[in-house]
């Protein structure tokens, strides 16, 4: 059964065709509720942050700013009326909401699929545009049929978490246009994109038009995006900024561990270990009487400690090596799949007594 409906704004000619595949689901109802809120007389929309670096909070965004964000992305990608767009991200967060707003702005035909790990499993539609998180892309790459469908999406953007180097290599030869995005709730989704494949592939993000960037005294990225944010935003992301405005993220300021006076970036250590640990894992720290903070490694499920220790010895200098490896039932994550750094650290403090920590 296929049901569809076209929704028009009372304020302009913006419309959206929604193709509902199958029975009406709770996700479809959430979509209809968002459209009801969007087409209301209120000039604003309430948005919740993911809570990846602190307590989740609610912010208010002006619809005009969300439209400007959509305009920049649609212009960058060349999306046009009647292009087919996949909606497979939760509508609780900005990423999902902005897929809908882009469809409204450009007149895209929107196909909602219940957010899950395999959004391409039950559809044969060739999409012109889709936005996914890294986990959805990773899962799709494992199934030949889904992998083929992934390669047929004309414009695929990936956000909501760090890109794995191995995944980037796997996507490098895909024929479609694939981008990693950089942004946050406060910037109403992304303000920069990075091509992952083709001749324009780059480790550096390119800011969207009108977005100006600089670095703070602590080398964190400062975003001046007047069309989507009323004030410049000082981020916690430590960045390398080039003269042409492109940039790459080195890590987060609040993800720095000061161990024995030496500062270690959590993301750098995790990136080096990713190819050698098949389970979900996280680097964090616990208080230490001598070092101030001691680096520890938390890993889900059964682990082969000796093989991990060997990889650590080979890959990491002594001051970056975890002083303990601990198995946990689950690595805490936020609602949209990012590591919940605060809960991870609290979990480590509960199970990692400093007296047991020694160099591997």
User: What is the rounded average pLDDT of the residues 45-73?
Assistant: 83
pLDDT of 15 > 90? The answer is no
Protein fold of 2-210: Rossmann fold (3.40.50)
Predicted confidence at residue 192, as pLDDT, reads 98
Instruction: Classify residue 88 by its DSSP letter.
Output: -
Residues of CATH 3.30.300.30 domain(s) within the chain? 260-356
CA distances (Å), origin 313, targets 14, 123, 265, 318: 58, 46, 17, 8
Helix 144-152 crosses helix 134-142 at what angle (to 10 degrees)? Answer: 130
Residues in the chain: 360
Q: Which residue has the higher pLDDT, 330 or 18?
A: 330
Burial of 233 (0-12, 13-18, 19+ CB in 10 A): middle
Is residue 354 very low, low, confident or very high in pLDDT (cuts 50, 70, 90)? low
Predicted confidence at residue 24, as pLDDT, reads 61
Q: Dihedrals φ, ψ of 212, to 5°? A: -115, 140
User: What is the rounded average pLDDT of the residues 221-232?
Assistant: 95
pLDDT of 176 > 90? The answer is yes
Predicted confidence at residue 360, as pLDDT, reads 58
- Percent of all residues in the chain with a pLDDT value above 90, rounded to a whole number: 64
Is residue 69 very low, low, confident or very high in pLDDT (cuts 50, 70, 90)? very high
CA distances (Å), origin 190, targets 83, 142, 156: 21, 27, 14
Tokens read off for 43: 């000039």
Protein fold of 260-356: GMP Synthetase; Chain A, domain 3 (3.30.300)
Instruction: Classify residue 51 by its DSSP letter.
Output: -
Lowest mean pLDDT among 273-277, 311-315, 355-359: 355-359
* pLDDT tens per residue, range 247-296: 999 888 888 898 888 889 898 899 899 888 888 899 999 988 778 889 99
Measure the CA–CA gap between 9 and 251, rounded to whole angstroms.
41
Mean pLDDT over the full length of the chain: 88
Instruction: Classify residue 84 by its DSSP letter.
Output: E
Residues of CATH 3.40.50.12780 domain(s) within the chain? 2-210
Predicted confidence at residue 56, as pLDDT, reads 65
Measure the CA–CA gap between 240 and 251, rounded to whole angstroms.
10
User: DSSP letters along 315-330, please?
Assistant: HS-GGGS-S-EEEES-
* pLDDT tens per residue, range 117-134: 999 999 999 999 999 998
pTM recorded for the entire structure: 0.76
Name the one residue in this structure whose structure tokens are 């592939």: 201
CB 16: neighbour CB atoms within 10 A? 24
Contacts by 306-311, CB closer than 8 A, 24 or more apart: 307/276, 308/273, 308/276, 308/277, 309/360, 311/273, 311/276, 311/277
pLDDT of 206 > 90? The answer is yes
Task: Report which of 193, 150, 145, 142 is spatially closest to residue 173, judged by C-alpha positions.
Answer: 150
Name the one residue in this structure whose structure tokens are 């704004």: 9
Tokens read off for 120: 């391409």
Which are the contacts of 38, defined by CB distance < 8 A and separation ≥ 6?
9, 45, 63, 100, 101, 104
Cite the beta strand spans of the chain per DSSP E. Answer: 2-8, 15-21, 44-48, 58-62, 84-87, 109-112, 129-132, 155-158, 177-184, 189-195, 206-207, 212-215, 220-224, 233-241, 247-252, 256-259, 262-265, 281-288, 292-300, 325-328
Measure the CA–CA gap between 161 and 320, rounded to whole angstroms.
23
């Amino acid at each position: 059964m296929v049901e569809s409906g076209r929704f028009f704004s009372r304020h302009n000619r913006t419309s959206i065709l929604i193709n509902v595949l199958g029975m009406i689901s709770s996700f479809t109802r959430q979509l209809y509720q968002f459209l009801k809120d969007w087409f209301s007389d209120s000039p604003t929309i309430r948005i919740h942050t993911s809570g990846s670096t602190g307590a989740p909070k609610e912010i208010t965004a002006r619809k005009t700013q969300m439209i400007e964000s959509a305009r920049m992305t649609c212009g960058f990608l060349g999306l046009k009326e009647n292009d087919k767009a996949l909606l497979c991200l939760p509508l609780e967060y900005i990423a999902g909401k902005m897929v809908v707003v882009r469809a409204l702005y450009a007149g895209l035909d929107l196909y909602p699929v219940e957010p899950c790990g395999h959004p391409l499993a039950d559809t044969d539609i060739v999409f012109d545009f889709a936005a996914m998180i890294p986990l959805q892309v990773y899962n799709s790459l494992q199934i030949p049929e889904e992998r083929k469908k992934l390669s047929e999406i004309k414009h695929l953007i990936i956000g909501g978490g760090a890109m794995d180097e191995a995944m980037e290599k796997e996507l490098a030869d895909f024929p479609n246009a694939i981008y990693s995005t950089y942004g946050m709730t406060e910037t109403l989704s992304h303000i920069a994109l990075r091509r992952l494949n083709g001749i324009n592939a780059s480790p550096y993000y390119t800011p969207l038009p009108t977005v100006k960037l600089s670095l703070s005294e602590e080398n964190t990225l400062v975003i001046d995006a007047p069309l989507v944010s009323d004030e410049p935003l000082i981020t916690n992301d430590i960045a390398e900024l080039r003269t042409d405005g492109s940039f790459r993220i080195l890590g987060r300021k609040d993800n720095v561990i000061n161990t024995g006076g030496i500062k270690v970036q959590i993301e750098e250590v995790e990136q080096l270990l990713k190819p050698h640990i098949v389970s979900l894992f996280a680097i964090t720290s616990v208080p230490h009487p001598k070092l101030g903070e001691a680096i520890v490694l938390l890993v889900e499920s059964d682990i082969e400690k000796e093989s991990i220790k060997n990889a650590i010895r080979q890959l990491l200098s002594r001051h970056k090596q975890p002083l303990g490896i601990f198995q946990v039932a689950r690595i805490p994550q936020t609602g949209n799949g990012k590591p919940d750094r605060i809960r991870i650290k609290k979990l480590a403090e509960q199970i990692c007594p400093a007296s047991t920590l020694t160099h591997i």
